[in-house]
Amino acid sequence: MKHAFVNLRSVMKLAQKLKFMSDNPAEETKMPATRPIERPTMTPEQINSLIGAIDDPHDLCLMCIGLFFATRTSETFGLERKSLDPSSLYSTSQE
């Protein structure tokens, strides 16, 4: 909600600056009251048992990437198998 609120105000401010509108209707808007969402979490023991149960090295790699880099689920699952193939990685040496 906070992101949408900030984006709306920014877009309206830019529209006013570019003279698409004479006044900014978002100046008077207030951030709506929101309540925190209870998010499920895993204990370290649950994470260790999950990692221990993964047999496929590609799946284990994806799990470690997700845990280490704290990616969103969609970002982690958006990785493709070819992303894990060392021969397809970009070379840092200049040839």
pLDDT tens-digit series, residues 30-83 = 888 888 888 888 899 998 998 899 998 888 888 888 888 887 877 777 766 555
Alpha-carbon dihedral sign for residues 83, 84, 89, 92: positive
What pLDDT sits at residue 32? 83
For the chain, how many residues are written?
Answer: 95
Residue 84: band (very low, low, confident or very high) from pLDDT cuts 50, 70, 90: low
- Tokens 């970009």: give the residue: 90
Domain extents for the chain? 1-33, 44-88
- What's the whole-model pTM score? 0.41
What pLDDT sits at residue 54? 92
C-alpha distances (whole Å) from 27 to each of 4, 19, 30, 31 are 15, 16, 8, 11
- CA-based nearest residue to 48, from 36, 32, 63: 63
pLDDT tens-digit series, residues 1-25 = 888 888 889 999 999 999 988 888 8
